Structure 1
Amino acid sequence: MSSAEAAVRARALGVLADDAVLAGLVHGVFDGVPARASAPYASIGGAEGSDWGTKDAAGREVRVMLALVGVG
């Protein structure tokens, strides 16, 4: 994982963990799949990036996996 992917993943985790509305709906926001957690919860998985830069412009796309695990 490059530094861009790690930064986007860390930012997504921080934003979700600090969201008061989400906190009222889930038991927690986890970095990866938690070993022991009861649903509902959210977890941030891996991040993948791909370069889409051109000869005269830099660019990178980063995708982060978010899982929302519910009950029922």
Structure 2
Amino acid sequence: MDEADHDPWAVAGTRSELVGGPLDGLLLDVTGSTHDEIGTSVLLQTALGQYGPDGRTLYEPRPGDPSRFDWTGDSPQ
């Protein structure tokens, strides 16, 4: 068993953890993103949020910790 089998942070690429909200604990792949791109909010489609299958959920990078994006709310679109 290699390190990537039990440590999702050890696999190739860069990932940021989603914290809170409907996607809590999932990893956001930011491989190839610039520092400026990682420093912006992401709006992700999910059926798990307040607005069902057509809804979106918003995560913003945690200040000083780009390895985590914090949930800020849901949106109908």
- TM tier, smaller: under 0.3
Structure having the higher helix fraction is 1
Larger Rg: 1
Answer 1 or 2: higher relative contact order, Cα 8 Å, separation at least 6. 1
**Structure with more of its chain in strand, by fraction:** 2
